[in-house]
Amino acid sequence: MDFYTPELDGFKEQMALLLQTSADNIAAVRNTSEALSMVANGYPFQPGDEIITFTHEYLPTIIPGLSRS
């Protein structure tokens, strides 16, 4: 991963400029499933909260939500 560190840092800086935020607020992950798992495991869901998704959603993207219900 060290090989990509300078490129990743540059990417995060450019995305931060585009999104008008700090590079510290930008995360790079391997894929969408990993990102959604991070959100699902870090969000403070409460009993009764609902997750709305597309009928034909790719299964690995909804598994984290199912495990939280």
Per residue in 10-62, pLDDT (tens digit) is 999 999 999 999 999 998 888 887 887 888 788 888 888 887 777 787 776 66
> Any residues with CB less than 8 A from the CB of 15 and at least 6 apart, and which?
23, 26
| pLDDT for res 47 | 86
* C-alpha dihedral sign at 2, 12, 35, 30: negative
Is pLDDT of 8 > 70? yes
Measured distance CA(25)–CA(50) in Å, rounded: 26
Measured distance CA(66)–CA(55) in Å, rounded: 14
pTM > 0.85: no
Decide: 61 and 40 in contact? Cβ < 8 Å: no
